[in-house]
Amino acid sequence: MTITPYKKLYLSALIACNLSLVGCGSSDSDNSNTSSSSSSSSSSSSSSSSSSSSVSHTQVFVDPSSRLHIGDSTTFEREKFITLHASHTENDWWLGTNDASLGGSALMPEFVETYDVYFGRDTGGMAWQLSQIAEDPARPGYASSADAEQIGGDTTGWYDFRTDEQGLQMRAQEHRNSQMVVAAQQHPYWPNGTLTGQGWAFSQANTADAPFGTATGDYMGLFLANYFRQSEGEPGQPKPKYVEVMNEPLYDLITAADTPEDPAKIFEFHNAVADAVRKLNPDVLLGGYTAAFPDFEKDNFQRWEERDKLFMDIAGENMDFISLHFYDFPIFPGGANGALVQRYRKGSNLEATFDMLNQYSVMTEGEVKPLMISEYSAQTHALDNGPWVPYRDWLIVKSANAMMMQFMQRADQIEMAIPFFTVKAEWGRKSADTPYPSRLMRQQKEGEGETGEQWVYSELIDFFELWKDVKGERLYSASSDRDLLVDAYVDGDTHYLALTNLDFTEQPFSVNLPDNIQADSIEVKHLYLGDEAEAQEQRAPIVELSGLDSFTDTVVIAPEASMVISFTVNDSNADYTVDKRFAYADRYKQAISSGEDINFQFNGLTPPANGKVTLRLSLGRDHGLSLAPSISFNGQSLAAPEDIRGDDQYLDGKGRESFFGTLEIPLPLDLLQADNTLTLNFGDDGGHVSSAVLELYESEQALDTL
């Protein structure tokens, strides 16, 4: 059954898509790690969620008797992962009301309550309030504290006492706004003479008592201290929990700037802002630098040295969290003569990025710094300067599902992960026919064959439809293919098995439970790219519901698709616990020279009696260089994997500029000791081993490792 009540009546839409690209068509790419070349073969997308198959297929295991703890994270935290890049007060919820929106003026509660969604981030409210506040006559270049107190008092009072429908709805949903992130933009926050709406500019002074950026931080502190509820019983909306010092500063101030700023100056600015904010708001958490493109490996890791490492060295200790943005580029005009290429984060690149950042954090601060993923999904460059099309939403949703599944595998490290889905975003419209691309809502007339001004859900709603019911305690689950991501939860009698296929071809798989447990009431929710349209270019995502008689049936997941399988079992008692953690080597970022050993130590470990261990080696190398070093762990040789997570990153020359990804190697449990030596040796020069990490599962009983 296809779920369609919120979607357009017709699935066809004309898109500009280069059919030679993997993902635009239905081609596949081998992700063998031994060569820079990739072979492609044709494969059609399947709209069937289950079928019989004699093809060798993936095995998925889930144990309803287990409880998996990832650090201190034991449940599916919807307030952390099922989020929207919006607040409960923004005007988009009421723009075009009077029955011009799905749900009428009750759009916000209809959406967040139906899909159990939490609010995530606001980058506009603080800027608008700045445009209303005068300069302090006694402190040139600083916001007026008297104005902040007066306007802030009016704002909190109005929020608390307004009796119109908008006010009632905001207060009714404010519990979904308790983890809000607010962020500054570059202008006029960066002190360079840019005027505020009241005709003054932030002070550029740089003294011992007031370092460069203090005036900006002072305003942000006044905003947080005066425009929100400060304690229980006071008026006002909930106070933001997180503050990003600035949104994507290096892109605007360095990469795209005519006169680039010094990165060190920007990072010192972060320190000054954070110190000023904390003077008035010791309860908020400060972070940065909100990297737009964390390409650590760029220019043989010079990008890491000049930006990300430098930030950690200058401001890392003063930050409560590190903030990052991750986007897939599935249709990026970055090839020769503007040809479209694909540059994916999902898969091994995302793993390598996390491991390198975390390892450096452990080496310098003794712990993994909490991570804020305040934007993620896909940038759809080749389709952004045209009308809305459903295929564009598919590109965004499939990336969001894959990345979120990877985030959830390190749930204890993530403060929050917010897909960049706006509400209506009329503020970003380029022309009458060119709306902002990543929107939860579209006007009905934007759909092929549709008319009308009403705002209806875009295909981005499929993300929330897929995850609508998932909740509960985390279960131990595993997949025999690292390209089939799995996660599992139990809530009462209902179990949820979530899967995402990173492959560009369909994957048949079987679900296995322990021998003494049988499943019943099996329902499959399958989100995939449909093929109902006559032409390849007119395809749209589909959410299909079906049932299985038992887990003896083979299930088929479509290319880059996601599933949630719900079921009950005859025995769901929690019998044992599995604890997952990471251990980091003593060194990182080691240059590769042909024939020379690279050594790492993992010392002070307590080897688990039961469980499993995976050695994670992350490499940054030019395409064509070997990804298969000789590997020795405590003197025993290990084989480099034949496959990596996700695509091979080369994609027949249409992929990333170089390889940066993680090799995942099963490690015999009895090989692990308290102190351990890892030795690598490559047969060619170039690039770096960026990190070496052990992923450990410690179980109270023997563990199925597939």
The number of residues making up the chain comes to 706
pLDDT at 51 over 50: no
Angle at 627 between CA 626 and CA 632, to 5 degrees: 110
Segment 660-686 shows an average pLDDT of 98
Nearest residue to 245 via CA among 86, 379, 407, 374:
374
pLDDT given at position 537 = 54
pLDDT > 70: percent of the chain? 90
pLDDT, position 587: 98
Q: Which of 90, 248, 448, 459 is catalytic?
A: 248
Select which of 90, 351, 375, 698 is catalytic.
375
> What is the layout of strands, in order, in the sheet containing 636-638?
597-602, 676-681, 630-633, 636-638
pTM to 2 decimal places: 0.92
* Stronger pLDDT, 73 or 11, i.e. the higher one: 73
Short-list 646, 660, 349, CA closest to 485: 646
Count CB-CB contacts under 10 A for residue 595.
Answer: 9
Identify the pLDDT of residue 573: 83
Measuring CA to CA, how many Å separate 606 from each of 143, 573, 599, 664, 669?
54, 28, 21, 21, 12
The answer to whether 248 is a known catalytic residue is yes
Is residue 48 predicted with pLDDT exceeding 90?
Answer: no
pLDDT at 146 over 60: yes
| C-alpha pair distances (Å), 34 with each of 485, 626, 640, 642, 648 | 23, 6, 10, 8, 10
Beta-ladder partners of 547: 523
Distance CA 323, CA 344 (A): 19
Share of the chain above pLDDT 90, in %: 86
pLDDT at position 571 is: 80
Q: Which amino acid, 648?
A: D
* Dihedral pair phi/psi, residue 275, rounded to 5°: -65, -40
**pLDDT above 90 for 97:** no
Q: Smallest Cα–Cα separation from 180: which of 189, 188, 170?
A: 170
Q: Answer yes or no: is pLDDT of 101 > 70.
A: no
CA distance 385 to 382: 7
pLDDT exceeds cutoff 60 at 665: yes
Span 455-483, mean pLDDT?
Answer: 97
Distance between CA atoms of residues 72 and 411, nearest Å = 9
Measured distance CA(238)–CA(55) in Å, rounded: 54
| Mean pLDDT over the full length of the chain | 91
Question: Which pLDDT band holds residue 99 (cuts at 50, 70, 90)?
Answer: low
* Tokens describing residue 373: 């993923």
Give residue 19's pLDDT: 31
564, two tokens: 């949630």
pLDDT for 125 beyond 90: yes
Encoded tokens for 96: 């075009």
Q: What confidence tier does 365 reach under pLDDT thresholds 50, 70, 90?
A: very high
